[in-house]
Amino acid sequence: MSTSKNSKKLRIAAFGAVVGAVLSVPEIAGAEDKAPSKEVAGKEGQSDDGAKAAAPEKKSVKTKTDGKGVAAGPGAPPALLVKKSYYVPTRGYRLEPQPDIPPYVRNLANTYKQFEGIDWLNVGLDSRVRFEYRKDDYRPWTSTATNPPTSQRKYFPNSLWLSRTRAYLGVQNILDPFRFVIEFQDSRAYNSIYEYQGQEINQTELISGYGELFFKDAFGKDDLGNDRPLTLRAGRFHLELLDRRLIAENEFRNTTNNFDGFRIKIGKKDNDWDIDSFLMRPVIRYPYQFDRPDWQNWIYGSVFSIRRWSEYATIQPYFLGRKQYGDPLNVSNALKFHRDTYAPGLRVYGVIKDFDYDFDINKQFGESGEFRQFRNVQNAVQTTVQHDAIAYAFEAGYTFSDHPWKPRISANYAYGTGNKSPFDSVNQTFDIFYGFNQPFSRNDYIAWNNVKAPKARLEFSPFKDLRIDTAFSAYWLASAAAAWDRANLFAPLGNRGTFMGTEYDLRIRYKLNQFINLTASYARFWPGSFTSSFAPPVALQPFFPQSFPGQTTTTNGLTGRPTDFFYLEVSANAFGDGNPITKPPGSDFLALFSPEGPAPRPAPPPSWSDVYVGLNGGGAWSSPRSIVQPWPFGAAAASPAVAVSATPIDQTNHLAGFIGGFQIGANWKFADSFLAGAEADLHGVSGNTDTRWQATLAQGGGNSFATYAQRTATLNYLGTIRGRLGYLVTPTLALYGTGGMAYGGVTSNAAIFTRRIGGTNQTLVNPVYQDSLIGWTAGGGAEWMFTPDWSVKIDYLRYDLGAAQGFNFAAQTNGFYAYGASSSTRFNGNLIHAGVNRHFDLISIAEMK
Q: Kindly report the average pLDDT of the chain as a whole number.
A: 86
Q: What's the rounded Cα separation, in Å, for the pair 583 and 586?
A: 9
Q: What's the rounded Cα separation, in Å, for the pair 540 and 557?
A: 12
> Residue 556 pLDDT more than 90?
yes
> Residue 313 pLDDT more than 90?
yes
pLDDT of residue 843: 64
Exposed (0-12), middle (13-18) or buried (19+): which is 405, by Cβ within 10 Å?
A: middle
Which range among 67-81, 137-151, 666-680 shows the weakest confidence by mean pLDDT?
67-81
List all residues 6 or more positions away from 522 whose beta carbon is below 8 Å from its beta carbon: 505, 506, 564, 565, 566
What is the CATH code for 122-573? 2.40.160.100
The whole-number average pLDDT for the span 538-564 is 85
List all residues 6 or more positions away from 585 whose beta carbon is below 8 Å from its beta carbon: 17, 20, 21, 23, 24, 515, 574
Strand partners, 836: 615, 792
> Residue 164 pLDDT more than 50?
yes
CA contacts within 13 A on the Cβ side of 794: 3
Which range among 30-44, 642-656, 697-711 shows the weakest confidence by mean pLDDT?
30-44
Residue 326: pLDDT band by 50, 70, 90 thresholds?
confident
Which range among 10-14, 238-242, 248-252 shows the weakest confidence by mean pLDDT?
10-14
Q: What's the rounded Cα separation, in Å, for the pair 811 and 819?
A: 7
pLDDT tens-digit map of 398-410: 999 999 999 999 9
The whole-number average pLDDT for the span 478-500 is 94
Q: What's the rounded Cα separation, in Å, for the pair 408 and 566?
A: 24
Q: What's the rounded Cα separation, in Å, for the pair 114 and 527?
A: 57
Q: Which residue would you say has higher pLDDT here, 588 or 98? A: 98
pLDDT of residue 10: 44
Which range among 242-256, 472-486, 579-593, 696-710 shows the weakest confidence by mean pLDDT?
579-593
CA-closest candidate to residue 624, choices 768, 827, 802, 804? 827
Residue 3: pLDDT band by 50, 70, 90 thresholds?
very low
Under 8 Å between Cβ of 476 and 502: no
CA-closest candidate to residue 466, choices 838, 803, 214, 24? 838
Which range among 92-101, 143-152, 341-350 shows the weakest confidence by mean pLDDT?
143-152
List all residues 6 or more positions away from 22 whose beta carbon is below 8 Å from its beta carbon: 512, 515, 516, 572, 586, 615, 836
Q: Name the E strands within 400-440.
A: 408-416, 426-427
pLDDT of residue 77: 47
The CA–CA distances, whole Å, from 219 to 212, 214, 235, 263, 276 equal 17, 12, 24, 17, 14
Under 8 Å between Cβ of 678 and 665: yes
Q: Name the E strands within 581-686.
A: 610-622, 626-632, 655-670, 674-686
Q: What's the rounded Cα separation, in Å, for the pair 61 and 80?
A: 9
> Residue 561 pLDDT more than 60?
yes
The whole-number average pLDDT for the span 654-668 is 95
Q: What's the rounded Cα separation, in Å, for the pair 519 and 534?
A: 35
pLDDT of residue 603: 59
The whole-number average pLDDT for the span 385-395 is 97
Under 8 Å between Cβ of 244 and 95: yes
> Residue 38 pLDDT more than 70?
no
Percentage of the chain surpassing pLDDT 70?
85
Q: Name the E strands within 464-579.
A: 466-476, 499-511, 516-527, 563-573
> Residue 790 pLDDT more than 70?
yes
Return the DSSP state at 72.
Answer: P
Q: Which residue would you say has higher pLDDT here, 328 or 75? A: 328
pLDDT of residue 527: 98
> Residue 430 pLDDT more than 60?
yes
> Residue 328 pLDDT more than 50?
yes
- Most confident range (mean pLDDT) of 81-95, 260-274, 627-641 is 260-274
The whole-number average pLDDT for the span 333-348 is 90
- Taking residue 588's Cβ as centre, other Cβ atoms within 10 Å add up to 20
* Three-class SS state of 147: coil
CATH fold match for the domains 122-573 and 609-847: yes
Q: Name the E strands within 217-335.
A: 230-237, 259-266, 273-284, 292-293, 297-310, 313-324
Q: Please, what CATH class does the domain formed by 609-847 belong to?
A: mainly beta
Give domain limits for the chain.
Answer: 122-573, 609-847
pLDDT of residue 582: 76
The whole-number average pLDDT for the span 559-574 is 96
CA-closest candidate to residue 91, choices 414, 401, 318? 401
Residue 253's identity, in one-letter code, is R
pLDDT tens-digit map of 791-826: 999 999 999 999 999 999 888 888 888 899 999 999
